[in-house]
């Protein structure tokens, strides 16, 4: 990778125990691979201080916070005021991740939806992008995102997108972004790649979701931000673009959406 090509890992989890023993080395490897900026995501608000500390300790790391939908029934329900207060921090750049996950936690759908609407309200109030996790809930997700957008516009990224074409179209119609994770590089992910290939390239981000979903050639191992490179290079192939051009495009996309994450 040439030194002047830089990309951003728009979604990772650097506070997870997987990185306890070598976080500094992980961040250094990311920089060596051209991943010059990362957004680390807090999934339970009680863990926000630890996530914030990581961002404060590393110039190239920013952070976001919210209640993950799979934890929505286990954690105290966030308030709009809680999230707005966090957004005052200079390195806090997004609301979430939040969303709906009916694959494992369909029984908590009602509280997930309530939590999602709270996070949307915080995004509307702060102007920060909403970070969405969606799994096996396409219809409800498209409906809620659209209903709330009609109430008051907001910006949003569908993180680690692997849902159906209908949800992708609904999100894109609202001006939202789709983020490519290692899933898009898996050999059997033909349908996901087709959805990305049909999307406007100026609405695409790249991410790892580390420590999960490592792309080839690291599949099955711990993921880390340096591996954003492999997903992004697969994205360049998918869009029929040269690697420098695609990297520059995703950087521009990230900075348009996460306009607070300025190095």
Q: What is the pLDDT of residues 114-166, one digit of tens each?
A: 999 999 999 999 999 999 999 999 999 999 999 999 999 999 999 999 999 99
User: Under a CB-based contact definition with an 8 Å cutoff, are residues 118 and 84 in contact?
Assistant: no
CA 237 to chain centre: 21
Identify which of 161, 165, 87 has the alpha carbon closest to the alpha carbon of residue 126: 87
Identify which of 89, 71, 180, 164 has the alpha carbon closest to the alpha carbon of residue 126: 89
What pairs with residue 94 in β-bridges?
Answer: 64
Residue 125 sits at the vertex; the CA angle it makes with 139 and 93, to the nearest 5 degrees, is 85
Identify which of 44, 141, 144, 117 has the alpha carbon closest to the alpha carbon of residue 86: 44
Hey, what domains does the chain have and what are their CATH numbers? 7-257 (3.20.20.140)
3-state helix/strand/coil string of the chain: CCCCCCEEEEEECCCCHHHCCCHHHHHHHHHHCCEEEEEEEECCHHHHHHHHHHHHHCCCEEEEECCCHHHCCCCCCCCHHHHHHHCCCCCEEEEEEEEEEHHHHHHHHHHHHHHHHHHHHHHHHHCCCEEEEEECCHHHHHHHHHHHHHHCCCCEEECCCCCCHHHHHHHHHCCCEEEECHHHHCCCCHHHHHHHHCCCHHHEEECCCCCCCCCCCCCCCCCCHHHHHHHHHHHHHHCCCCHHHHHHHHHHHHHHHCCCCCC
Give the model's pLDDT for residue 263. Answer: 86
pTM over 0.95: yes
Taking the chain (263 residues) in runs of 10, the rounded mean pLDDT of each run is 81 97 98 97 97 98 98 96 98 98 97 98 98 98 98 98 97 98 95 97 98 95 97 97 97 98 91
């Amino acid at each position: 990778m040439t030194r002047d090509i830089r990309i951003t890992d728009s979604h990772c989890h650097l506070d997870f125990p997987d990185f306890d023993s070598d976080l500094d080395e992980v961040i250094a490897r990311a920089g060596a691979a051209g991943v010059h900026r990362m957004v680390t995501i807090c999934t339970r608000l009680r863990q926000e201080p630890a996530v914030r500390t990581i961002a404060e300790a590393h110039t190239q790391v920013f952070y976001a916070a919210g209640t993950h939908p799979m934890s929505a029934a286990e954690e105290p329900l966030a308030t709009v005021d809680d999230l707005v207060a966090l957004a005052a921090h200079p390195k806090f750049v997004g609301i979430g991740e939040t969303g709906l996950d009916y694959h494992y936690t369909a029984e908590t759908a009602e509280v997930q939806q309530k939590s999602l609407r709270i996070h949307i309200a915080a995004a509307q109030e702060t102007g920060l992008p909403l970070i969405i996790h969606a799994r096996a809930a396409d219809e409800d997700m498209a409906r809620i995102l659209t209903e709330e957008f009609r109430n008051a516009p907001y910006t949003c990224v569908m993180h680690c997108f692997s849902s159906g074409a209908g949800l992708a179209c609904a999100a894109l119609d609202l001006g939202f972004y789709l983020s490519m994770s290692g899933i898009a590089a898996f050999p059997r992910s033909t349908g996901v790649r087709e959805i990305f290939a049909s999307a406007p390239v100026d609405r695409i981000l790249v991410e790892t979701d580390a420590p999960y979903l490592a792309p080839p050639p690291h599949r099955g191992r711990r993921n880390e931000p340096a591996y954003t490179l492999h997903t992004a290079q697969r994205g360049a192939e998918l869009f029929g673009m040269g690697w420098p051009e695609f990297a520059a495009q995703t950087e521009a996309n990230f900075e348009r959406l996460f306009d607070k994450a300025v190095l």
